[in-house]
């Protein structure tokens, strides 16, 4: 947590924002992602994405947009509605308060919107962003099981409704030529992701 805070404060100071504004927005992010109902899409998800982003930082062309997009991409997380669109709008609003340049904000919003369908992206930063967001699919089996369980807990839906939607989502991923967009994720994680998804469909759904 201390690293998340230190990195956010350091990054947000770059354009002359007031310290109080930086602290206020960071507290809002912590409160949002720290909500008890965020079983998967919480602070641990942000930490995991940040770790991977730092691992691939040399391949990321627009680091500041990428960084802020991680923080805001799941700001809105509900059972229905345009979560990604509303999250992007919130990112635009709050990053403007931090005096972040318009071009950085604009591309940050585009990265967030790219997670709406997690489809193939021709832009290399977008490829990495959607792949990092989906990287849990290629985790070891124990961690993947935990992810699947936590996803179920986040949705207050009747079991048959959740299973119907989850099956449709997972089968849609398997139907693609590739789940991941970037070459590095396809080479390193594609096969494991498909094995995990197939396990969930057969053993859990």
Instruction: Report the pLDDT value the prediction gives residue 90, as an integer from 0 to 100.
Output: 97
As a whole number of Å, the end-to-end CA separation of the chain is 34
Mean pLDDT computed over 108-117: 94
pLDDT in tens, 175-184: 999 999 999 9
Instruction: Report the pLDDT value the prediction gives residue 23, as an integer from 0 to 100.
Output: 97
pLDDT in tens, 14-38: 999 999 999 999 999 999 999 999 9
Is residue 159 in a domain? yes
User: Residues 111, 145: one domain?
Assistant: no
pLDDT in tens, 56-106: 999 999 999 999 999 999 999 876 679 999 999 999 999 999 999 999 999
Is residue 73 in a domain? yes
Mean pLDDT computed over 50-58: 97
Instruction: Report the pLDDT value the prediction gives residue 204, as an integer from 0 to 100.
Output: 83
Is residue 168 in a domain? yes
User: Residues 67, 153: one domain?
Assistant: no
pLDDT in tens, 123-159: 999 999 999 999 999 999 999 999 999 999 988 889 9
Alpha carbons 134 and 128: distance in angstroms, whole number: 10
pTM more than 0.75: yes
User: Residues 113, 143: one domain?
Assistant: no
Is residue 126 in a domain? no
Instruction: Report the pLDDT value the prediction gives residue 13, as an integer from 0 to 100.
Output: 97
N residues, the chain: 205
Instruction: Report the pLDDT value the prediction gives residue 79, as an integer from 0 to 100.
Output: 62
The whole domain housing 100 covers 2-118
Instruction: Report the pLDDT value the prediction gives residue 117, as an integer from 0 to 100.
Output: 82
Alpha carbons 46 and 59: distance in angstroms, whole number: 19
User: Residues 65, 161: one domain?
Assistant: no
pLDDT confidence tier of residue 120, bands split at 50, 70 and 90:
confident
Number of domains present in the structure of the chain: 2
Is residue 175 in a domain? yes
User: Residues 64, 151: one domain?
Assistant: no
Instruction: Report the pLDDT value the prediction gives residue 105, as an integer from 0 to 100.
Output: 98
User: Residues 110, 17: one domain?
Assistant: yes
User: Residues 83, 159: one domain?
Assistant: no
User: Residues 111, 37: one domain?
Assistant: yes
Q: Look at residues 157, 151, 158 and name the one whose alpha carbon lies nearest to residue 134.
A: 151
User: Residues 143, 113: one domain?
Assistant: no
DSSP letters, 38-76, are -SSSSHHHHHHHHHHHHHTGGG-S-HHHHHHHHHHTTSS
Instruction: Report the pLDDT value the prediction gives residue 182, as an integer from 0 to 100.
Output: 94
Is residue 47 in a domain? yes
């Amino acid at each position: 947590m201390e690293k998340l805070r230190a990195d956010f404060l350091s990054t947000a100071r770059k354009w002359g924002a007031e310290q109080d504004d930086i602290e206020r927005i960071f507290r809002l992010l912590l409160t949002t992602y720290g909500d008890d109902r965020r079983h998967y899409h919480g602070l641990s998800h942000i930490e995991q994405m940040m770790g991977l982003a730092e691992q691939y930082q040399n391949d990321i062309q627009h680091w500041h947009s990428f960084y802020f997009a991680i923080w805001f991409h799941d700001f809105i997380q509900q059972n229905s509605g345009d979560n990604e669109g509303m999250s992007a709008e919130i990112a635009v609003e709050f990053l403007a308060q931090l005096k972040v340049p318009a071009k950085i904000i604009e591309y940050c919003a585009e990265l967030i919107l790219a997670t709406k369908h997690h489809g193939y992206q021709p832009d290399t930063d977008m490829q990495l962003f959607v792949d990092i967001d989906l990287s849990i699919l290629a985790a070891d089996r124990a961690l993947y099981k935990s992810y699947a369980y936590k996803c179920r807990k986040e949705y207050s839906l009747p079991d048959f409704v959740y299973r119907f939607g989850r099956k449709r989502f997972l089968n849609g991923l398997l139907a693609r030529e590739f789940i991941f967009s970037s070459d590095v994720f396809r080479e390193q994680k594609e096969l494991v992701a498909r094995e995990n998804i197939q396990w969930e469909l057969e053993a859990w759904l």
